[in-house]
Amino acid sequence: MKDSDNFLSFSEFKDRYGITEKNYLAFYGLLSVLKQKIKEPLCNNTNMQYESFYTKFMKASKPSRQAYKKIIGLKQRCPTNSQGKWARDCAHEPIDWRAAYQLSFQCTRSTKLIVFQFKLLHRLLATNSRNKR
């Protein structure tokens, strides 16, 4: 950071830390996450109590929203076909799927990049390649 309110530009960051790579996307993704995390309040509450669904439902101002989230949560399932293909292609490293799906939301606000990553992870991108595995 330059000061308490401003971040370094990409060129200033490269000069200060002697980086020779030109990875703009990684830099601006990191910058976006840092700006978001700075705005979040620190939570030191370690005595969090579990609250049952019934209690949340009865306290909620919009109980239908709570019911909808619960029903959708029970109905959703993992895309096992695409995850199996990725696991087969990347057999040398285990994949943390929770982190993979949340990465684009944490790094950018661009809906185009978020949709692109979604399509990439679910193998929905059309290519000219005729290789099938």
**24-62 confidence digits (pLDDT tens):** 777 788 788 777 777 766 555 555 677 788 888 888 888
Residue 15 lies in a domain: yes
Reduced to 3 states, what is the DSSP secondary structure of residue 104? helix
Q: Provide the sign of the torsion angle of the four alpha carbons 112, 118, 120, 125, taken in this order.
A: negative
Q: For residue 133, what pLDDT is reported?
A: 55
Number of H helices and E strands in the chain, helices first, is 7, 0
Calpha distance 28→35 (Å, rounded): 10
Residue 119 lies in a domain: yes
Q: Residue 29: give the domain boundaries.
A: 10-39
Residue 65 lies in a domain: no
Calpha distance 130→124 (Å, rounded): 15
Residues 122/78, Cβ–Cβ less than 8 Å: no
Over the stretch 76-114, which tens digit does the pLDDT of each residue have? Answer: 677 778 888 888 888 777 888 888 888 888 888 889 998
Residue 25 lies in a domain: yes
Residue 84 lies in a domain: yes
Backbone angles phi, psi at 124, to 5 degrees: -105, 0
Residues 55/41, Cβ–Cβ less than 8 Å: no
Total count of domains within the chain:
2
